[in-house]
Structure 1
Amino acid sequence: MSKTPAVLCKNKWLCATELSGGTKGFNHPGIMGFQGKAFLAFIREMLQNALDANRGDGFIRVIIKHLEILRSAIPDIDGLVDIITRCKDGEKDKKVLASLDKAIADLSKDKIHVLQLADYNTKGLMGSVNDVNSTAHALLKADGVTNKADIGATGSFGIGKFAQYTLSNARATIVTSVSCEDDGTYRPLVQGKAILKSHKRYDEALGRDVIYKDESFFGPDDGNFDAAYEYGDLPDWLRRGDGSLGPDTQGTTISVLAFNYQENWKELMIGLTLQNFFAAILYNKLELEIGDVVINKDTIQSLFTDLDVVNAVRDFGRYDEFEMSYFYYKALTSENSIKEVVNIPELGDVELTILVDRSLPRQVVFNRNGMKITDQMAGLKRFRMVKPFACVVEPLDKEARETLRQMEPPAHDDFLPGHASDEAVGRRILKALETTVKQFIDTHAGFKASQESNVTELSDLLADTTDDQNGDRGEYNIHGAVKISDETKTIGFGGRKYGSVSVGTLNNDGETETVSGGKVTFEGPENPPGPITDRPGLDPTSGNGFNVSSPASLDLGGDQSVEGTSEGKKGVRMHVKHRGVLKGKRQFKLETLVKEPVKLEIAFQRNGLSESDDLVVVSSSVGEVVNGKVHVELDQNNSRIEVTFDRDFRGGSVGIVAHAI
C-alpha cells in the first residue's frame, strides 16, 4: 500500500468547502441509526472491529478507560469549537441548536471528558487515509465501505464506524493507530474527525458566502485533509502505549471527545460486553480492561453475577438480553452440555451445543466469530414438548461464517435470505439450519411419549390466564395436593403447561418442614431437588424454593390455618413464571384454604441475576397498598388481585412473599 510521507506542519481542525453547493443536515443517517442505544452500538461495533483486525498471533486485548483531559492538552480545541459555532448560523431547529450548544459547553470546560478505547494485537490502520483501497481510508474518509480483507469478518457494511460518534456530545473523535507497513517499518497515524452539518462562512477573498461540508478533520494544516504520520508535538494521551513504535504498540485507539459521561459507564460497558461477546471471551479470543476491571475467561462468571453490572444493564433496558446471554454462557461451560458438529449443505460445518436444565429459557442463539448475532431466528423461537434448554449454534469454518455474514443486516442481529448473494440458496440454508437444530433439540431435550400425561383435574387449582398478544403463560398456586410420579410428567391444563411450584424454605436433608400452614414431603430422592432457578445471585440453601419436577408430594393448605404475625414466622413464597411481556399491571389468582378469614401482607419481587429486586406496588384491586405492599383480608373464597407496579419490565420469575399480619 502507498503511504504518505511524514508531515511536519502543525495539526488543526479543518473543514473543506462543498464545491457542488449541496448541503447536509445534522441528522446524519449513520449516526441516527444508533440513536437511543449509543453504548450498545459502541461496544458491538468497536469490539467487532478489533476482532476483525486480529493480526493472527494471539488474543485481542482491548482497554477502555475514561479520562478527564485538561482543555489546554487537547490540540486546537478552539478550532473545533469555532466550527461548531459556525454550524449554528442560520439553524432553526431547536433540537439541533440545543445539541450544538451542549457540544460547545462541554468543550469549553477546564477538563474535558474523553472515552478512550485501545486495541492491541491488531493490525492497525494500513496505508494513507487518502488511498481509497486502504483500511485507514475506509474508517476515516469513506461511507458504506469496509475494506476488511478477512473472509467471515464480523463487520461488513462500513456503517458501524459511526457508532464512535454517538457517545460524543460534539460528534468528534481522534483516531491514533500504529501499523506495520509493507516495508516492515512501524508507522503512526493520527487523524480526528467531526460529523456535524453543512454551514456557511463569508470568504473575504471571494466576496461571498462559501458552503462548508458537514465533516471536519484534525490533521496537518496543508490543505490535503490528510492524517499526521508522525507524533510530532502531540500530547502523550493521544499516543499509543509508551509512544514507541513496534509490535507492542501496534493497533488502533479511538478517543471520543466530549464523552457523554454517566456514573455507571464502566458497569454498563462491562454488562454489554458480556451480553454480546461472552463467546469470544470464553474462547480466549478477547480480553478487556474496562476501567479497573479485567474481563477474561477466568472473571466472566463473577462479572455476570456482579450486582452493579446487573443493575446498570437493567437501567439501560437490556436486562433480559443480558440474562439470556448468561444462560448461553452456562451452556458453553457446563460439563453436562452436549456438543455435536453437523454439516449443513451449502453452508459448512456448524457446532451445536445444548444444556438441558429446568432453569433455562428454551432459546437458541447464533454466534459468529465470538459475537452474539441473534436468538430470535424465525422458526426457532417457540418450542413445545421439550424440557427447558439453552442451545448455542456456531459456524466453525471461514466459509460458513462468510455465508452467514452475507445474510446479516447492517445491525448484525438477524439472518435474512434476501441479503445472500443468491436468495434461493440463502433460504435453503436457513431452512436446513432450522430443521437440523430442531432435530438436535428434540433428540436431547424432547419428552418421550411414555413420560407424558395430562392431569386435567388440577386445572381448578391454577389461574387460567391467556395473553392473546404474548402467548400462553401459566401462573401457579401452591394450595391443594400435587402428586408427581417417578416419571417426569408434562402436566397440561386445557392445552397449557405448568412448569414449577415453589414454597418457603427447605432443609437440604430432605426432611419434612412445615411452612406457614403447609408441609412438603419428599418421597423419592434423599435430598430435595435444586432451587427453582439456578440463576446467579440466588443461593440454593437460602430458601429460594424448589421445583416439583422430581418425585415428591406437595401438600399445602388442607385444614391448616394461617395465624400469628410475620415476626419469627416463615412466610409462604410462591414463584410465578411469566412468558411474554410483563407489564406494570398484572393479575394474580390467590387460592385460599383456611378455616377463617386471614389478613395478609403480600410483597412482590422479581427474581433473576441479582438476589432480589423489589417490585413496588402503586395500586391494587383489593385491600390497600402500604409501603409498596398489599394488605388484604382473604377468606375461603378464591380471590383475584390486580396490582400495578411502579415500572414495567419484561418476563422473568416473580416471587410473592406473604405473611399473616
Structure 2
Amino acid sequence: MVAKVGFEFPRDNSQQWDGFNEPGMEHFAGSPFRSLGREGTQNALDAAISSPVAISVRLVEVPTISVPSVDELRSALELCVAESHAEGEKAKQFFETALDLLGKSKISVLQFSDSNTSGVKGPCELGYPYFALMKATGQSKKESGTATGSFGIGKFAPFTVSGLRTIFLSTRWSDESGAMHHYVQGKAILMSHRSGGATYRGTGFWGIRKNCQPLVGNLDELPAWLHCNGHEVGSTGTTLSILGFMANKGWERILAASIGESFFGAICRGELTLTIEGGPVLNAGTLPDFFADKDILNAIKDQKEEPETFQNSGHFLRALSSTESKVEETQNASLGHCRLHILVGEGLPKRVAVLRNGMLITSELARLRRFGEFKEFVAVLECLSDKGNALLRAMEPPPHNDFEPDRLPTLQQQRAGRVALRELAEWVRQMLQRHAQDPIAEVSEIDELAEFFGDDEEGSGSKEKNGDENPRGALKIRARPLPKKKSAASDSQEDHSQDDNLPGDDGDDGDDTGDGDGDEGGSGGSSGSNESTGGDATKGGDGGAGSSKNHVSTLALQNVRAVVLSPARRRISFTPEVGGQVKVTLEDSGADTNRILKITSASVGVVANGDLSIQCNMNQRLTVDVELDRVFEGTIKVKAHAV
C-alpha cells in the first residue's frame, strides 16, 4: 500500500513531454547566485509586516537519509537517467551527478529564511499566494499592487543552484481570524519519465499525495532542519531549503553582493537586514564598509557586469545618505510624488539610478544615459506614491531591470506611460543642469601654439574676432573657414555662378529646395552628449537665389555651432556673411534623409510655422536659444535663407 505522504509525480495522460530545459530555470541559469539573492529578497520584502525584514542564510550538511522520502526521489532520478539520452549530454550528466549526490552519506542544504514577514499565505488553492508560489505557472499573487515581484518567474531561481533541482518550503502564516498554520512541502523539477507503460510529469511534489497538497499541522516526525528555523514560537515567516546546494568558492560574498547592490535602498533605510552564517552581515550601519570591502570585489570580479555594478551601487548609496547631496522633488502627472538625490564629486560615474520600493531597477533609463555636459555625479530617483509605483511595476519586464510602456494593456495606458517616463527624464535633466552643469569658464588664449595656428588677419587676439566657446572646457576656439574650392568651370563661369540676376538661369542644375547641400557647405550640430561640430552652412550654389522655383537666397554661415541645453533645447550660434532679415530652418542630420526640426520658441526673433525669422548684421556673431518640438539627441543642421 502506498503511503499517504511522499513524492508524487502526477501521471500524464495527455501525451505531453516535459523536457529537461525548463524555461523558467533557463531564465536565471546565466547568473544563478545573483538571481537567487535578488529573487529571494524580493519575495521576503513583498511579505513584510514590520521593519526590518530579516533574512538569514546558512549552509548545513544533513544526513541524506533525513531527506523525506529520499528513496522515491532517487527512483524518479533513475527513471530520468533512462530518458536523458534523448535530451542530450547536459541532461544525462545532471541526472548522473544527482544520483551520486544522493549516494553520499550527507548532503548540503542551503537555507534561506525570513522573519517579520507574513509567511506564504494559504490555503493551497487557486487565488492564494501559496498556490501561486508552489503550484501555479506564470502566476504571481502578491498582496500589494506595488510589490517588487510580479511575474511568478522568480520562484524558479532557487532550483538553478540545486544539484537535485529540488527544494523544500516551510512556512508559518495566520489567517484572518488569527489562527496559525504551518505548511511544509517539497518540489522537484526534473523531466518527464516513463514507468510500467505510463508517462509521468517532470514536476513532482513531496507532501500529501492526493492532489499534491502540503503537509499541514503535525510535523513532529519531520527532521529539525525542515522546521521554520530562527522563528519565534507563534511568529510567521518562511524557510526555503535548497537540496544539493552547489556551493562555488566565495558563494557567501557573491550572494551578499547581489542583495546589497540590488537592495541598498531598503537596507540603508532600515527596511532590510541580511545575515549570512560565516559571511557578511548587511544592515544600515555596515553597508558603507561593505561596498568598500576588497574581498567582496575580488569574489565577484568574474561575475557578469561586475565589479562595475557593485561599485556603482556603492556610489548610489552615498547619494542617498550623504549630507552633501542635493534633494529635489516634483509631482508627476502620472507617477505622483517623485524625489531625486544628486551628489556631485570626482570619480563618480554619471549615472541615474531608479529605485522602486528600495530595489534598484535600472541605471540605464532612456534619455538618462549620456551626460557629457555635466560634472561627475551620481543621482538616485524614486517614486514615492503607491499609484506611481504600481504604474512603474506594470511596465517592468521579468528581470525587473527596465521600464517598457508597451507592456501596459491599452494604447491609452501605453501613451500615458511613455509621457510619464519622458517628463520624468526631462525633469531629472533640468535638476542636473541646476546642480551638476559644467560651467563654461573664462576665455583662455593658448600662446604656445600660436606659431602653428597663427592668424593672418590683424589683431588676432582682439575680442572683436568671431569665435565660440567649447562647451566642454575653458578654451575659446577660433574656427576659420576653409579655402573655397575651385570650380572645374572657367573663370567666366565662376563669375556668372555668383550672379543672382543671370537671365535664363532657373537653377535646374541645383537642389530644388535651394538648401545648397553642396561640397562647399557643412552643418552645425550637436549630439546628445553635448559634443558639437561646427562649420559653414551651405552657400546657394546652383540652387541659390537665382532659382525661379523658390525665389529665396541661401546664405552662407560661418562658425555654425549647436550646443545642447536640454533634450529639446539648443543654443545655436553662427556668423552670417551678409546682413538683413533671415529665416533659419533646423533639420536633424539623418543617414539617408534629413527631417525638419520645428522651432516652437526662441530667445530672439519671431517663430512662425516651425522656422525662426531674425535680423542679422553682416559678419556679426549671432546666438539664439531655441526650443524644439520634440526631444532630439542627434546632429542638427542649420540653414539660413534671406527673407
TM-score range (shorter-chain normalised) is: 0.5 to 0.7
Structure 1: distance between partners of 2:28 and 2:271? 26
The reply to whether residue 176 of structure 1 matches residue 170 of structure 2 is: yes
Amino acid of the structure 2 residue aligned with 1:122: T
SS of equivalent to 1:23: coil
Task: Give the CA deviation at 1:361.
Answer: 0.7
Superposed, which structure 2 residues align to 1:341-380 within 5 Å? 341-380=329-368
Question: CA separation of 1:321/1:456 partners in 2, compared to 1, >3 Å: closer, same or farther?
Answer: farther
Task: Give the CA deviation at 1:494.
Answer: 9.8
Question: CA separation of 1:428/1:75 partners in 2, compared to 1, >3 Å: closer, same or farther?
Answer: same
Structure 2: distance between partners of 1:76 and 1:164? 21
Instruction: Please list the CA deviations of residues 235-276 of structure 1 after superposition, one character each: whole Å capped at 9, or x if unmatched.
Output: 1111013676412xx111110001111231111111111111
Match of 1:334 in 2: 322
Match of 1:622 in 2: none
Task: Give the CA deviation at 1:360.
Answer: 0.4
Q: Which has the larger radius of gyration?
A: 2
Question: CA separation of 1:144/1:489 partners in 2, compared to 1, >3 Å: closer, same or farther?
Answer: closer
SS of equivalent to 2:45: helix
Match of 2:313 in 1: 325
Match of 1:89 in 2: 82
Structure 1: distance between partners of 2:445 and 2:277? 54
Q: CA RMSD in A?
A: 2.3
Task: Give the CA deviation at 1:58.
Answer: 2.1
Structure 2: distance between partners of 1:27 and 1:174? 21
- State percent identity of aligned pairs: 34
Match of 1:286 in 2: 272
SS of equivalent to 2:201: strand
Match of 1:52 in 2: 46
**Contact 2:37/2:256 (8 A) holds in 1:** no
Instruction: Please list the CA deviations of residues 296-343 of structure 1 after superposition, one character each: whole Å capped at 9, or x if unmatched.
Output: 000111111122111111132321100110110111111110111111
Question: CA separation of 1:430/1:459 partners in 2, compared to 1, >3 Å: closer, same or farther?
Answer: farther
Amino acid of the structure 1 residue aligned with 2:205: F
Instruction: Please list the CA deviations of residues 499-558 of structure 1 after superposition, one character each: whole Å capped at 9, or x if unmatched.
Output: xxxxxxxxxxxxxxxxxxxxxxxxxxxxxxxxxxxxxxxxxxxxxxxxxxxxxxxxxxxx
Amino acid of the structure 1 residue aligned with 2:246: N
Match of 1:233 in 2: 221
Question: CA separation of 1:239/1:453 partners in 2, compared to 1, >3 Å: closer, same or farther?
Answer: farther
Match of 2:416 in 1: 425
Match of 1:307 in 2: 294
**Contact 1:277/1:372 (8 A) holds in 2:** yes
SS of equivalent to 1:449: coil
Superposed, which structure 2 residues align to 1:8-87 within 5 Å? 11-55=5-49, 57-87=50-80
Structure 2: distance between partners of 1:69 and 1:337? 49
Match of 1:410 in 2: 398
SS of equivalent to 1:218: strand
Match of 1:159 in 2: 153
Unaligned runs of 5+ in 1: 1-8, 203-208, 461-487, 496-661
Question: CA separation of 1:490/1:256 partners in 2, compared to 1, >3 Å: closer, same or farther?
Answer: same
Question: CA separation of 1:459/1:187 partners in 2, compared to 1, >3 Å: closer, same or farther?
Answer: farther
Match of 2:592 in 1: none
Task: Give the CA deviation at 1:81.
Answer: 1.5
Instruction: Please list the CA deviations of residues 279-312 of structure 1 after superposition, one character each: whole Å capped at 9, or x if unmatched.
Output: 1100111011012332100011111112211111
Amino acid of the structure 2 residue aligned with 1:212: Y
Structure 2: distance between partners of 1:295 and 1:396? 24
Match of 1:270 in 2: 256
Instruction: Please list the CA deviations of residues 109-152 of structure 1 after superposition, one character each: whole Å capped at 9, or x if unmatched.
Output: 211111110010111111222x1011110000001111112021
Match of 2:638 in 1: none
Structure 1: distance between partners of 2:395 and 2:60? 39
Task: Give the CA deviation at 1:454.
Answer: 9.0
**Contact 1:459/1:493 (8 A) holds in 2:** no
Match of 1:120 in 2: 115
Match of 2:285 in 1: 298
The number of aligned residues is 449
Q: TM-score, normalised by structure 2?
A: 0.67
Question: CA separation of 1:493/1:27 partners in 2, compared to 1, >3 Å: closer, same or farther?
Answer: farther
Amino acid of the structure 1 residue aligned with 2:77: I
Question: CA separation of 1:450/1:196 partners in 2, compared to 1, >3 Å: closer, same or farther?
Answer: same
Structure 1: distance between partners of 2:450 and 2:8? 73
**Contact 1:458/1:493 (8 A) holds in 2:** no
Question: CA separation of 1:24/1:456 partners in 2, compared to 1, >3 Å: closer, same or farther?
Answer: farther
SS of equivalent to 2:79: helix
The reply to whether residue 150 of structure 1 matches residue 144 of structure 2 is: yes
